[in-house]
Amino acid sequence: MLPLFAILFPLWIVLNGSLATDVLITGLIATLVIAAGSRGSLSPLTEFRVTPAALWAVPRYLLYFLKELVKSNLRLAAVVLSPELPLNPGIVKVRTRLKSRMGRLLLANSITLTPGTLTVELQDDWLYVHWVRMETDDSEGATARIVAGFERYLEVIYG
Amino acid sequence: MEPSLVNAFPPTPLNLIGGLLLVAGTAFLLLGGLGLVRMPDLFNRIQAGTKATTLGTLLSLAGVACLQPDWSLKLLLIGLFILFTNPLSSQVLARSAHRLGSKQSPLTRVDRLAEDSGEAP
């Protein structure tokens, strides 16, 4: 509850762009009610490990993510624009070492936003990923190519 | 005369960058649209839709932030919302489609999910 409040309340202040008392009181009530109503649900601070290594991993993760996002778009552009539409789609199975719920959520989302991959389902330690240009259907090879890059950072941040 | 939204003349470097970012963002959105038309099945279409709209929208927002620096903070928040919600909705769409047995392109090589759920591949 508190982590969610710690995100929502500053968000409210930023959106309002004002520190007037009535604005603050309204926001305080609204965000507390929302935070209380979503107890048990996840927020980016759930299970966050507050260690220097984790804090340092956050910007590196974001940078890596943005790089992959741009790469992903350029590749997709190449596929969409080429006349023969070079597809080789398949749904592969990859394994994650992450145990925390938030870590897994971010991993699944990151995979969806990166080169030609889309998370379809998450079961136990296994993620089922749709791959536009499948390079391998072997789950270890696919894990190394799809998961490893993000896991390196998320492991430090969330475990 | 109506005051224009952006005072473009003379173009400052920031305006120029903003304009270029907007053009780049629009280009990616256009490619995403093209992908929606060209891709053979639902899963591939979602891929085109998710990625292109994410980067396209982020670039457009960055462009607007350069043209209207006062809005930067709010634009950043919009960007974050998109980064969090776009992949989630795509994933949920793909999962429901798979559960409902949405038809896959004949090009599809393997489907481990169908194999593991005990359906015919």
Q: ipTM of the predicted structure?
A: 0.73
Chain A: residue whose CA lies nearest to B70: A17
Chain A hits for B74, CB-CB cut-off 8 Å, are: 14-15
Give residue B59's pLDDT band: very low, low, confident or very high (50, 70, 90).
very high
pLDDT tens per residue, range B22-58:
999 999 899 888 888 888 888 888 888 877 888 889 9
Q: Is residue A43 part of a domain?
A: no
Q: Touching check for A9 and chain B: CB below 8 Å?
A: no
Q: Touching check for A133 and chain B: CB below 8 Å?
A: no
User: Of the ranges A41-45, A120-124, B48-52, which one carries the lowest mean pLDDT score?
Assistant: A41-45
Average pLDDT over residues B70-78: 86
Task: Tally the domains of chain B.
Answer: 1
A-facing residues of B in 74-113 (CB < 8 A) are 74, 77, 83-84, 86-88, 90-91, 94-95, 98, 104-105, 107-113
Q: In this predicted structure, what is the pLDDT of residue B121?
A: 41
Nearest to A137 among B54, B95, B110 (CB): B110
d(CA A121, CA A105): 11
Q: Which residues pair with A90 in a beta bridge?
A: A131
Query: What is the Cα Rg of chain A in Å?
Result: 19
Q: Is residue B116 part of a domain?
A: no
Q: In this predicted structure, what is the pLDDT of residue B1?
A: 45
> What rounded mean pLDDT belongs to chain A?
80
Average pLDDT over residues B105-117: 70
My answer on whether A83 and A140 are in the same domain is yes
Highest-confidence segment of A41-55, A145-159, B84-98: B84-98
Task: Tally the domains of chain A.
Answer: 2
My answer on whether A16 and A90 are in the same domain is no
Q: In this predicted structure, what is the pLDDT of residue B120?
A: 43
Q: Is residue A106 part of a domain?
A: yes
Q: Is residue B111 part of a domain?
A: no
Q: Residue A150 in contact with residue A139, Cβ under 8 Å?
A: no
More confident residue, B65 or A151: B65
My answer on whether A10 and A64 are in the same domain is no
Q: Across the interface, do A89 and B104 touch by the CB < 8 Å criterion?
A: yes
More confident residue, A154 or B60: B60
My answer on whether A104 and A150 are in the same domain is yes
My answer on whether A29 and A58 are in the same domain is no
Average pLDDT over residues A4-24: 82
My answer on whether A23 and A78 are in the same domain is no
User: Of the ranges A104-118, A125-139, B4-18, which one carries the lowest mean pLDDT score?
Assistant: B4-18
Q: In this predicted structure, what is the pLDDT of residue B64?
A: 92
Give residue B63's pLDDT band: very low, low, confident or very high (50, 70, 90).
very high
Q: Is residue A140 part of a domain?
A: yes
Query: Residue B83: which of A52, A62, A37 has the closest Cα?
Result: A62
Chain A: residue whose CA lies nearest to B53: A73
Q: Has residue B4 got a pLDDT over 70?
A: no
Q: Has residue A44 got a pLDDT over 70?
A: no
**Residue-number span of the structural domain to which A124 is assigned:** 52-157
Query: Residue B86: which of B117, B119, B47, B115 has the closest Cα?
Result: B47
Give residue B60's pLDDT band: very low, low, confident or very high (50, 70, 90).
very high
**Residue-number span of the structural domain to which B30 is assigned:** 13-102
- Report the first-to-last Cα separation within chain A, whole angstroms: 21
Q: Has residue B84 got a pLDDT over 70?
A: yes
Q: Is residue A66 part of a domain?
A: yes
Q: Residue A145 in contact with residue A135, Cβ under 8 Å?
A: yes
